[in-house]
Structure 1
């Protein structure tokens, strides 16, 4: 694209030098292909999407996204649907975008990818796709405030409508959003960060009350008209951020009013099976951490237990599965255990089971690994510690070793280093420094709270 070419040298260098993510086969294969493609003068690297993981419902959209890109630039591909099949799938989903409640950026991606694969001659289908693309553009010029969706939308507009205002606005947005290093980041998450940190620091009596007041005011201002919240301002609501904001808000008049609207949003979003999807799309699967947050938020703000009881039973079964709970947004086992444990309650047998597993998995350095067998991390240790304070006194060796690990790892400025590995979009992992800090400090704040209340007897584990 000529308009971006002068700005891509730094981006190309970054892609070629960046370490390929290896925590999951999907990003490993795609990022390896991207590096090979960017480093070539011609699109000779083959995109291989034949691995069975690419066909799982939660990952097939990422497969189709990169498969369409590869086909559009003439790169060889292996596996997945053919070009014709992919075009038909994209068009079918685009036409059903209202009934499946797609996010704005998802609709933009479908329209843009279809337009990049379409024949040169205009047709009724390309007219429909262009109309859908224009409808998906945000006031900022982006498409759902997402860099990936905006980039492919810009490419599609460059091909089909290069003199349009939509193209000019998208280009201006992308040029404005480049970092000082000349690259693009995924997305800020200021609403989620604020709610997560408020929840982590709840009850810390030595902190300045005005800090919480400003954070709560921000959350109240960020609520969407439908009663929900999104991870950042200007984006459609999602179940997980709505629940997290409700958990963060205080029981003031304003907090109660806002959370009442949030409760109505969560109740509307419940599936016929009594669960919650991560996004609004009916094609997205339920996730343990998201369901746990919805239960906790509804319980806090007065929804009767019978409403969320089926979701609690589902979580209890998931907690007992081999390997324990899994979070869909953080690649951290202890985060899933903590959130599911709090949703079920500390006295629940499945929560005690999760806590016992955490005790057994503590690393020799006193920390916990994000996933079994990995090195310890601050975020994973904070979340494990937060759950165990419900059962173990502060002087217990398991607790003191974890505190010592976090104290040794803390940086001079007070924060903690990564990695975090937040999935966005799943299963590609991103580090958000404020979220690392929130998950790490959550454990220490829990220890401080536990010191003011008698611990449960050790026999509960």
Structure 2
């Protein structure tokens, strides 16, 4: 694939008004060209028939341990659990955060120890940490783990749902909270409302999954096996988990095909090879993915969100439309992303990394 040299040259010249004046050394221009050509080749080769890019995420202990535990005791899922346990046996605990590390270790123990390990509590003050701690507290209550408190889980779920029973939160979040309520009631030995299984089933997709996320599907399966083992939604969620397991025994978080496609367009639009082979199908996919409310979701199984809507609109902005609207990127002003300037910024990023080293050695002068 050719053409990056001309694109970079045009972008370098066009950026003079908004960016500090600079010239690319010939060696750096050649390297930037090679990098962009390879990126465009990769993008064209991995684009789907519908114009989208679907990139599986890397497997995490969280998703896989929850899915594996939800299938415990299910005769039809024995092989799937064995595959998951083999992967978990070699999985690396995340150590970038104390709470995440403690959660990973507890989840591994839950799936590998003969007795249920005590729940560590995982006290959290921040939003993402609080959500993860709540998810794991629900798993601990379902497992009857020492240290789990179904009363507290029930209180947290009801508080999060609010007086309107979750009418103002995203459907996938509401469905999870309803599952937490059901798990807490079961752990306390209480019967749930007869309508609860059908209410949990209402968020299920035709393929049996919940919102395209295996971990959410696993938690719903866990709740349904406790309160309604013979309900059709229970069997459907189980079949979905079995179908979604990868050949290496893992489940992956989710594929954000709309977000990934918009980001790929924003990154490579303007490269001749990319524009010729991939741009139109990508645009057609993004247009078709717009929701009735006017927004875009990061994945087709979810509701519209602000991040993806803004990113998708930027991806569809015609060349030059926003040339005169500077934004801040770190401490320095840059232009918003357009067909030409994205390459200028990519080249400048390479320059910022490579030129200091060249200056130290006297190269590139």
TM, length-normalised to structure 1: 0.53
Going from structure 1 to structure 2, the CA distance change for 1:22 and 1:396 (only over 3 Å counts) comes to closer
Distance 1:171 1:131 in 2: 16
Distance 1:98 1:204 in 2: 49
8 Å CA contact retained: 1:29, 1:48: no
8 Å CA contact retained: 1:109, 1:152: yes
Cα distance, 1:47 vs. partner?
2.2
Query: In the alignment, is residue 230 of structure 1 matched against residue 308 of structure 2?
Result: no
1:54-133 equivalences under 5 Å are 54-77=124-147, 82-94=149-161, 96=163, 101-118=168-185, 119-123=188-192, 126-127=193-194, 129-133=196-200
Cα distance, 1:214 vs. partner?
0.6
8 Å CA contact retained: 2:142, 2:183: yes
Q: 1:431 maps to which residue?
A: none
Structure 2 counterpart of 1:10, from 73, 83, 86: 83
8 Å CA contact retained: 1:112, 1:153: yes
Cα distance, 1:220 vs. partner?
1.0
Query: Which structure has the bigger radius of gyration?
Result: 2
Cα distance, 1:131 vs. partner?
4.0
Query: In the alignment, is residue 185 of structure 1 matched against residue 166 of structure 2?
Result: no
8 Å CA contact retained: 2:160, 2:166: no
Q: How many residues align?
A: 276
Q: 2:352 maps to which residue?
A: 398
1:270-289 equivalences under 5 Å are none
Structure 1 counterpart of 2:111, from 26, 31, 38: 38
Structure 1 counterpart of 2:213, from 117, 121, 146: 146
SS at match of 1:4: helix
Q: 1:239 maps to which residue?
A: 306
Distance 1:194 1:67 in 2: 35
Cα distance, 1:99 vs. partner?
5.5
Structure 2 counterpart of 1:165, from 232, 242, 246: 232
Query: In the alignment, is residue 204 of structure 1 matched against residue 271 of structure 2?
Result: yes
Distance 1:105 1:177 in 2: 18
Q: 2:93 maps to which residue?
A: 20
8 Å CA contact retained: 1:36, 1:45: no
SS at match of 1:7: helix
Query: In the alignment, is residue 345 of structure 1 matched against residue 323 of structure 2?
Result: no
Instruction: Using CA pairs under 8 Å that are at least 6 residues apart, name the structure with larger relative contact order, 1 or 2.
Output: 2
Structure 2, unmatched stretches of 5+, are: 1-72, 334-340, 359-365
Going from structure 1 to structure 2, the CA distance change for 1:26 and 1:177 (only over 3 Å counts) comes to same
Distance 2:225 2:152 in 1: 24
Structure 1, unmatched stretches of 5+, are: 253-298, 301-341, 356-385, 405-461
1:208-219 equivalences under 5 Å are 208-219=275-286
Distance 1:343 1:84 in 2: 57
Distance 2:143 2:97 in 1: 25
Going from structure 1 to structure 2, the CA distance change for 1:153 and 1:244 (only over 3 Å counts) comes to same
8 Å CA contact retained: 1:147, 1:186: yes
Going from structure 1 to structure 2, the CA distance change for 1:214 and 1:389 (only over 3 Å counts) comes to closer
Q: 2:3 maps to which residue?
A: none
Distance 1:87 1:352 in 2: 43
Going from structure 1 to structure 2, the CA distance change for 1:135 and 1:94 (only over 3 Å counts) comes to farther
SS at match of 2:298: coil
8 Å CA contact retained: 2:117, 2:145: yes
Cα distance, 1:104 vs. partner?
2.4
TM, length-normalised to structure 2: 0.66
Cα distance, 1:58 vs. partner?
3.5
Going from structure 1 to structure 2, the CA distance change for 1:395 and 1:187 (only over 3 Å counts) comes to closer
8 Å CA contact retained: 1:21, 1:31: yes
Going from structure 1 to structure 2, the CA distance change for 1:114 and 1:208 (only over 3 Å counts) comes to same
